[in-house]
Amino acid sequence: MRKMTYQQAATCGKDLKVMVTPEQSEKMQKAWFAARKTWVDASIEVSDTDKPYLFLNTYNGLIYGTEKVKFLESPAIEIELIDDIEKEQLDFASQQEIHLWVAQGNKAKLKINGEIVGFKDGVMWNFTKNQRGGFYFNIPKNWKKHIPPKLIRVNGIECVAPLESLEDLDYIFVASTKDIEGYDKYDLGLITKFHAQKMIDLKICYANEEDAITRAKAMREYEVIEC
């Protein structure tokens, strides 16, 4: 799920929705009014902070909500509100921290292009390109820790664990036993997020095609999951 500060949410120019506490609701309303925006009825008074949902509509104004189903069905982008101090949480503060991380047998991921690097047989290795790679880690903020995905076994076959949420994905791949090629693509622009969430709840959804195909082949006959 995309994280935004209150100011970012008030000025991003897209229709958003967010689940809020009373404190968050008050902060969001104040940021919204500071951006010269209003409630849908043109009011600029802080109110209804006990309501659990806010809809930040670019053209229509701010609207509160009380029903979870309507919140889930809304096509607006769901966000999580954060304070400014949380805006950028870096995995590494220095080159030394990155070197220590990979020296312990871990891998680092370059944010710019997603390349994953670490040591292999005592030499620095680019696991994305499957070749030697020399990296200086001179800009620590460009790197993040690479945490391998959780794995499960389905009918004795090792698979990546399915998605637990939609996060900020534009589409998902669903492991389908109907097609041995292995997946159905669901474009979230064509179906509501409510229905996409129902697919997530079935625990057969993936962020990429390859993982969905592997899972589909593993569960084609019957399914037994070993965590």
Of all residues in the chain, what percent carry a pLDDT higher than 70?
83
Residue carrying the six token digits 């589409």? 171
- Interval 179-189: pLDDT, tens: 434 344 544 44
Mean pLDDT of 197-216: 81
Nearest to residue 146, comparing CAs of 174, 121, 117? 117
Q: φ, ψ for residue 22 (rounded to 5)? A: -55, -40
Residue 79 is given by DSSP the state: E
Q: What is the rounded CA–CA span in Å between residue 170 and residue 197?
A: 13
Q: What is the pLDDT of residues 155-196, one digit of tens each?
A: 888 899 988 877 656 667 788 766 434 344 544 444 556 667
The H or E element spanning position 171 is strand 171-175
- Give the count of beta carbons closer than 10 Å to the beta carbon of residue 126: 17
Confidence (pLDDT) at 167? 62
Q: pTM, whole model, 2 decimals?
A: 0.43
Tokens matching residue 40:
């849908």
Tell me the domain boundaries of the chain.
Answer: 2-86, 95-146, 151-220
Residues 78-106: what's their mean pLDDT? 84
Dihedral sign from CA coordinates of 17, 20, 22, 26: negative
From the number of C-beta atoms within 10 Å of its C-beta (0-12, 13-18, 19+), residue 29 rates as buried
Q: How high is the pLDDT of residue 203?
A: 85
N-terminal to C-terminal alpha carbon distance within the chain: 25
